[in-house]
Structure 1
């Protein structure tokens, strides 16, 4: 049985991290698995790419630009520019040798000019079983990656809040109709990383006739593991005598990541406990173009992009707690990584996060957009709990639910059932 994992990138973004980890996990149990991506890969990585030459990279960039330019006249404003993918640009990979040889095609994240709707149809027409791990809502919406409070995907989409001209026959409705016609004939087996996303997919008109499987992302618990905090802080140039709160994502400027609510929570914390002003510091990583760190009440260490897994593991181990103020999320890698390092997580009760955090046992949860509750959770995590017990609970939860071998075997059982 040959398995082929397909994702836009091998390295960039949460879906790429998850797909790459699954690829490694399957190899570790000696599965016959390959991975094909669009973006260039490092020479020392055994992942295949369709971009071998400079001209290939240029064509890939042009596809991305075509996709964005197509959506530009439709977008409500620039804040939603990357929140909606029309999937009009892409490349046909149906005749690629790895695709032709595969018994199972396993899709992950394929947007931003990699695979168009036409290209997906070309893959589906091969009549091979297609496993599709959903990292957001795009596989069952009329174009958006996260629908927020909109539930039009349950029926036919239309009246899309992301569009400048929104009506019953708008772009989202047309894309939804195209997807319906393609999906209806396809041998798709959808996998949700979280039960939350699976429940949304199951009620959608695009996937309600398909079986939805729930399998979380894997993580290498030998790599993401507890380390000596003081040694990590010395190496990263961070203070030894402060409570350090960690926050980060690929793009923390994205409103969905909730930086606004973290700032509000920290101001509440500062007003409520002014004596802690010189005891707390904040570490932020990720793209932060529109974030003014001077508005935070505590000292901020802005690390921007973290280079490599080893540095990321050390950074987690510098923190006393990790905060995730996201307004919508599937099964965040950052939560899993922090927990695997024995770091408690403070978060809103959104998406798949409550499946990862048991309140006051291995982390802290509060109602979405409740900045006061977030402030309380941060205080509890930093000052008012048994740190050893919470750290052990966080680590043990990951070991029991997300380890590489456990998840790889779940996928192997699924693959075998489809042949």
Structure 2
């Protein structure tokens, strides 16, 4: 039995990716379960760690405790959730599902779910552990993305996220804790992108651990092409405009690069009157008062069917992230036949084949983003780019393709355990 551990269920990129893999494994015949603190939408084989109001309250207290631990040390509020000290968590080592599991599969486990002590107790059980990395946290001293700092290649210290960086700051101590944690465990690290795999193999903490690249998966029957005009009418959107989609968890997050998208669109203020923008995510209508072209703000969308409609309504999606692993939004849009323009960073260039199924723009260049928009508008008149985009997803990220790779990895991990037990 495979047990997936994730802070989130159907929230955030990592939570969505974890749940999609779990569901795909079930459909593929694997005995898969999830254990999550706070399940908002109950489903079979997904167990809520918080079995009462008191447990839910304790879960929230652990989240607050971890944030309060970091608060006096943070450089400023912009890094508040970009660093996880893993100082607070719960001991799940004796939970029935953990005890029954043949393989423990970790995903994103911060924000008070699992602390360093929690992980130590889990690893002490001696079960094989697979860890899908959704950012850099597993091999840094606490940051989720290093923002150009390369201390993790040798030893984290003098952390730029801290108000008072020091040789023995909390990044140093967490780095030391992780080094001890990884010493005696049957552990495989899975990175969804070659970019993150490369970093994992270079990082001092993880360079000697088993590391493989297996992308996230997507249901290509659900995320599929639809009738664009019919969907636009249904959503109350214009059928005679070119609609460019920006889908960000938070448009105010500098890492999402919204400012570059805005600059790129300024070039079309008077140049073209047929371009308008769709935006969904965490923001507010007043955020777009000064946007250079008309904006249709759709708010936060959590219903998957509604997301499919929005992707189909758009002519392209723009993902100007400055750091990203393997964005679900690109995969989802391309599965719906909506080409993507994204910066050459992280795993984005692996998803978009430049000048084939989309456009890879120069990092932090609004002009290059604009060039990508122009290219898709001209090249996709016959929908050839849309067709290529969907084919890329079917070939690379389909459930069948990804679950097969994970099943092979699970088998290897279990065989390693058996060999180790026989040897001892």
Fold shared per TM-score above 0.5: yes
2:380, 2:386 within 8 Å by CA — same for their partners in 1? no
**Distance (Å, rounded) in 2 between the aligned partners of 1:42 and 1:373:** 41
Q: Which runs of 5+ in 2 are unaligned?
A: 415-424
1:148 is displaced (CA, Å) by: 1.4
1:85, 1:112 within 8 Å by CA — same for their partners in 2? yes
**Distance (Å, rounded) in 2 between the aligned partners of 1:393 and 1:170:** 49
Distance 1:207 1:291, change over 3 A: farther
**Distance (Å, rounded) in 2 between the aligned partners of 1:285 and 1:387:** 27
**Distance (Å, rounded) in 2 between the aligned partners of 1:31 and 1:360:** 38
1:20 is displaced (CA, Å) by: 0.6
**Distance (Å, rounded) in 2 between the aligned partners of 1:400 and 1:374:** 26
What is the match of residue 368 of structure 2? Answer: 373
What is the match of residue 148 of structure 1? Answer: 147
**Distance (Å, rounded) in 2 between the aligned partners of 1:146 and 1:307:** 25
**Distance (Å, rounded) in 2 between the aligned partners of 1:208 and 1:196:** 14
The aligned runs of 1:182-221 (5 Å cut-off) are 182-221=181-220
Q: Deviations over 1:10-68 (max 9, x none)?
A: 11111111111111111111111111111223234541010121111111111100010
2:93, 2:125 within 8 Å by CA — same for their partners in 1? yes
**Distance (Å, rounded) in 2 between the aligned partners of 1:110 and 1:307:** 21
**Distance (Å, rounded) in 1 between the aligned partners of 2:285 and 2:164:** 27
1:5, 1:19 within 8 Å by CA — same for their partners in 2? yes
What is the match of residue 257 of structure 2? Answer: 258
**Aligned counterpart for 1:395 among listed residues 387, 390, 407:** 390
Q: Secondary structure at the match of 1:302?
A: strand
**Aligned counterpart for 2:343 among listed residues 340, 348, 364:** 348
Higher mean C-alpha deviation, range 107-116 or range 40-49: 40-49
**Distance (Å, rounded) in 1 between the aligned partners of 2:286 and 2:175:** 35
Q: Secondary structure at the match of 1:264?
A: helix
**Distance (Å, rounded) in 1 between the aligned partners of 2:40 and 2:335:** 27
**Distance (Å, rounded) in 2 between the aligned partners of 1:403 and 1:168:** 45
| Displaced runs of 4 or more, over 3 A | 43-46, 383-387
2:268, 2:275 within 8 Å by CA — same for their partners in 1? no
Q: Secondary structure at the match of 2:32?
A: strand
1:384 is displaced (CA, Å) by: 4.5
What is the match of residue 104 of structure 1? Answer: 103
1:291 is displaced (CA, Å) by: 7.0
2:379, 2:385 within 8 Å by CA — same for their partners in 1? no
**Aligned counterpart for 1:310 among listed residues 305, 321, 334:** 305
**Distance (Å, rounded) in 2 between the aligned partners of 1:349 and 1:321:** 17
Q: Secondary structure at the match of 1:132?
A: strand
**Aligned counterpart for 1:298 among listed residues 293, 298, 301:** 293
Q: Deviations over 1:154-186 (max 9, x none)?
A: 111111111100122111111111111112222
1:382 is displaced (CA, Å) by: 2.4
**Distance (Å, rounded) in 2 between the aligned partners of 1:268 and 1:185:** 56
What is the match of residue 16 of structure 1? Answer: 15
The aligned runs of 1:25-174 (5 Å cut-off) are 25-174=24-173
Answering whether residue 353 of structure 2 is matched by residue 358 of structure 1, we say yes
Higher mean C-alpha deviation, range 384-393 or range 239-248: 384-393
1:292 is displaced (CA, Å) by: 2.1
The aligned runs of 1:216-235 (5 Å cut-off) are 216-235=215-234
2:268, 2:293 within 8 Å by CA — same for their partners in 1? no
Higher mean C-alpha deviation, range 178-187 or range 63-72: 178-187
Q: Secondary structure at the match of 1:118?
A: helix
**Distance (Å, rounded) in 2 between the aligned partners of 1:17 and 1:28:** 17
Q: Deviations over 1:334-356 (max 9, x none)?
A: 00000000010001011001111
Distance 1:43 1:262, change over 3 A: same
Answering whether residue 405 of structure 2 is matched by residue 405 of structure 1, we say no
